[in-house]
């Protein structure tokens, strides 16, 4: 446990010293709320406003996970510090668990601004129970992005991981209904939307906080994405170990 | 006699078609100060990576303190240096030391470690802002953080100025005088000469010479005698030879004797040149010898 704490502290410090990364991942969702939700009518309907805030929270978590794990892990793998750590008398798990905790911490920090903007400038509300349910749902909803990020990070060099992450995050968030509600989509986009991990993630957290029934297909697909990205992560990690440290 | 601190038995390691280590044997005895000498690409770094548990051999076995180096418990008494280019830029010296120390049950107090490597007063500096020499010293200090019994130093003084190099050597000697075991690699003979008691020369993935400093210096002090002649010169006493037309290049550990022999035998040579062979050439001649004897 003390080793986990040491790795966690180390990685948090390392990221916190480059605040621009945190600022950008925290500012993006809050600004989206400010510009695309607050000025319009539905900011005054509690359910619609809460849904909009929840969507952007999922968006914030997704960005945070894809970048800290995808780009962050790829970057670490290329530094000679990583092999040095492997010569220290510690198994691999405190390092990996520390990395996951660090990602979760920064994801949590990055949702604070959007929650504040939502509470101050919209009619969005949630009871403590709804908040708690929402957090639990968010943990599950974040899994495909956690695993997806790790799979990218362990399988690609940073020069490829960065553009790949940039390329996938926007369409996934838009078509998954994280920026505008999927009820506004044309029917073909509705169908496509249900196949994305972001849609199931959104519907799950919206269900927990607002109570809107989810798209059942999207929830089933989300479970599938968690399984697939989880398996990809294990595969990518083993392959990377086998390549670099066989 | 106690078991070796680190050991490789019949170790082979390939990278694709390249054979980095070829049935190599090495025992590092407790309390010894062993220098691994060899040209770049000889397999020194691969050997180190196997001994510290970073890689697995394709064949043969490696042991660290009597067990597998891939088992974290067997690395408790191992000290290793990171490459200074890989130090986490945004972290402070104190934080990096603290982090590494937490991996060991009884680490050195940070103040003592900083003082020993001339880093006192720099605890709050971020590693990214250190000079090359300071980074190097921090990297070496990390190897000593956990009170190791074996310290592995891969090219420890590359990038250090004369003063830094001397300070580092003093630190290594003090550790050794205290009973610590040191395994260091270098491609500089003078570095190995001034530190190591035992020198192991590695070339083309094999141990080509193993002995004390004097023995190995004798082996690697090779001269090249170069001449033109239409008839073959005598080959006794040469360790290697090359011919291009009437130009002969002869490698020998005793150039004087070879020249005397040429004159005495009445070889019709001209354009004679004698020069000291580089360490690389000396390694090559050693490798050729082992290949001959293996045949």
Could you write out the DSSP letters of every residue in A69-129? IIIHHHHHHTSTHHHHHHHSS--SHHHHHHHHHHHHHHHHHHHHHHHHHHHHHS-----HH
Whole-angstrom distance, CA of residue B224 vs CA of residue B231: 18
* Inter-chain residue contact A88 with B76, CB threshold 8 Å: no
**pLDDT at position B294, please?**
43
The DSSP call for residue B277 is P
Residue B103 is nearest to which of A79, A80, A88, comparing CB atoms? A88
**pLDDT confidence tier of residue B51, bands split at 50, 70 and 90:** very high
Residue A80 is nearest to which of B74, B76, B83, comparing CB atoms? B83
* Secondary structure (3-state) at A170: helix
- Mutation for testing the B interface, residue in A87, A243, A246 having most B CBs under 10 Å: A87
Q: Please compute the mean of the pLDDT values over residues B213-218 and round it to a whole number.
A: 77
Residue B54 is nearest to which of A13, A79, A83, comparing CB atoms? A83
* Sign of the alpha-carbon torsion through B101, B104, B105, B109: negative
**pLDDT at position B192, please?**
79
B150 Cα to chain A: minimum distance (Å): 13
Contact list in A for residue B73 (CB cut-off 8 A) is 89
**pLDDT at position B295, please?**
40
* Inter-chain residue contact A10 with B95, CB threshold 8 Å: yes
* Inter-chain residue contact B146 with A17, CB threshold 8 Å: no
**pLDDT at position B293, please?**
45
Q: Is the pLDDT of residue B147 over 60?
A: yes
Residue B90 is nearest to which of A14, A79, A90, comparing CB atoms? A14
Q: Is the pLDDT of residue B1 over 60?
A: no
Q: What is the ipTM of this complex?
A: 0.84
Instruction: Show Cβ contacts of residue A143 under 8 Å, excluding neighbours closer than 6 positions.
Output: A226, A229, A230
Contact list in A for residue B86 (CB cut-off 8 A) is 79-82, 84
Q: Left if phi > 0, otherwise alpha if psi is -120 to 50, otherwise beta: which for B237?
A: left
Q: Which residues of B touch A (CB under 8 A)?
A: 49, 52-56, 72-76, 78, 80-83, 85-88, 90-91, 95, 98-100, 102-104, 126, 142, 146
Please name the residue of chain A whose CA is at the shortest distance from the CA of residue B154.
Answer: A84
Contact list in B for residue A2 (CB cut-off 8 A) is 102
- Mutation for testing the B interface, residue in A8, A75, A76, A89 having most B CBs under 10 Å: A89
Q: What percent of chain B has pLDDT over 70?
A: 93
**pLDDT at position B280, please?**
65
Q: How many domains does chain A have?
A: 1
pLDDT in tens, chain A (246 residues): 789 999 999 999 988 888 777 787 788 889 988 888 888 877 778 899 999 999 999 999 999 999 889 988 998 888 889 889 999 999 888 999 999 999 999 999 999 999 999 999 888 888 999 999 999 999 999 999 999 999 999 999 999 999 999 999 889 999 999 988 888 899 999 999 999 999 999 999 999 999 999 999 999 999 999 999 999 999 999 888 767 766
* Beta pairing class for B198-203 and B206-212: antiparallel
Return the CATH class of domain B6-77+149-218. alpha beta
Task: Record the tokens describing residue A164, joined without a space.
Answer: 């790949």
CA atoms within 13 A on the CB side of B39: 14
* Inter-chain residue contact A91 with B72, CB threshold 8 Å: yes
Q: Is the pLDDT of residue B269 over 70?
A: yes
- Host domain of residue A8: 2-245
Contact A59, A179 (CB under 8 A): yes
Query: Where are the domains positioned within chain B?
Result: 6-77+149-218, 87-141, 223-276
Q: Is the pLDDT of residue B39 over 80?
A: no
* Inter-chain residue contact B95 with A90, CB threshold 8 Å: no
In this structure, of A131-140, B60-69, B172-181, B269-278, the range with the lowest mean pLDDT score is B269-278
DSSP lists the bridge partners of residue B183 as B34, B152
Q: Is the pLDDT of residue B289 over 70?
A: no
CA atoms within 13 A on the CB side of B196: 30
**pLDDT at position B16, please?**
85
Q: Is the pLDDT of residue B234 over 70?
A: yes
């Amino acid at each position: 446990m003390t080793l986990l704490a040491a790795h966690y502290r180390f990685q948090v410090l390392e990221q916190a010293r480059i605040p621009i990364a945190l600022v950008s991942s925290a500012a993006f969702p809050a600004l989206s709320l400010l510009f695309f939700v607050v000025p319009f009518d539905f900011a005054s309907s509690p359910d619609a406003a809460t849904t909009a805030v929840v969507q952007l929270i999922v968006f914030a978590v997704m960005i945070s996970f894809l970048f800290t794990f995808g780009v962050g892990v790829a970057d670490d793998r290329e530094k000679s510090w990583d092999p040095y750590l492997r010569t220290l008398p510690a198994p691999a798990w405190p390092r990996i668990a520390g990395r996951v905790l660090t990602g979760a911490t920064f994801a949590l920090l990055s949702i604070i601004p959007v929650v504040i903007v939502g509470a101050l400038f919209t009619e969005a509300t949630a009871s403590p129970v709804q908040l708690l349910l929402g957090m639990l749902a968010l943990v599950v909803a974040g899994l495909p992005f956690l695993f997806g990020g790790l799979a990218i990070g362990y399988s690609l060099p940073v020069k490829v991981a960065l553009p790949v992450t940039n390329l996938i995050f926007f369409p996934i968030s838009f078509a998954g209904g994280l920026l505008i509600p999927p009820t506004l989509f044309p029917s073909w986009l509705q169908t496509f939307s249900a196949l994305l991990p972001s849609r199931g993630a959104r519907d799950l957290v919206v269900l927990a906080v607002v109570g809107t029934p989810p798209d059942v297909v999207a929830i089933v697909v989300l479970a599938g994405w968690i399984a697939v990205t989880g398996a990809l992560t294990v595969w990518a990690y083993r392959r990377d170990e086998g390549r670099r440290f066989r | 006699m106690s078991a070796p601190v680190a050991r490789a038995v019949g170790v082979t390691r390939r990278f694709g078609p390249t054979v980095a280590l070829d049935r190599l044997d090495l025992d590092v005895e407790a309390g010894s100060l062993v220098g691994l000498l060899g040209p770049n690409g000889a397999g020194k770094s691969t050997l180190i990576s196997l001994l510290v548990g970073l890689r697995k051999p394709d064949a043969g076995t490696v042991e660290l303190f009597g067990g597998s180096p891939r088992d974290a418990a067997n690395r408790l008494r191992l000290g290793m240096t990171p490459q200074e280019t890989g130090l986490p830029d945004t972290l402070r010296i104190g934080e990096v030391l603290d982090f590494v120390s937490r991996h060991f049950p009884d680490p050195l107090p940070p103040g003592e470690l900083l003082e020993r490597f001339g880093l006192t007063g720099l605890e709050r500096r971020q590693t990214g802002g250190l000079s090359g020499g300071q980074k190097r010293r921090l990297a070496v200090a990390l190897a000593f953080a956990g009170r190791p019994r074996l310290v592995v130093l891969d090219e420890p003084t590359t990038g250090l100025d004369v003063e830094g190099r001397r300070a580092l050597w003093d630190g290594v000697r003090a550790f050794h005088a205290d009973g610590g075991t040191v395994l260091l690699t270098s491609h500089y003979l003078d570095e190995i000469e001034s530190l190591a008691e035992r020198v192991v020369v590695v070339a083309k993935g094999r141990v080509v010479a193993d002995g004390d400093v004097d023995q190995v210096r004798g082996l690697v002090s090779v001269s090249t005698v170069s001449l033109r002649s239409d008839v073959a010169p005598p080959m006794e006493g040469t360790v290697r030879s090359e011919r291009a037309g009437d130009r002969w290049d002869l490698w020998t550990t005793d150039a004087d004797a070879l020249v005397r022999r040429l004159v005495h035998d009445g070889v019709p040579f001209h354009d004679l040149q004698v020069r000291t062979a580089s360490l690389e050439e000396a390694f090559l001649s050693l490798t050729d010898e082992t290949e001959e004897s293996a045949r």
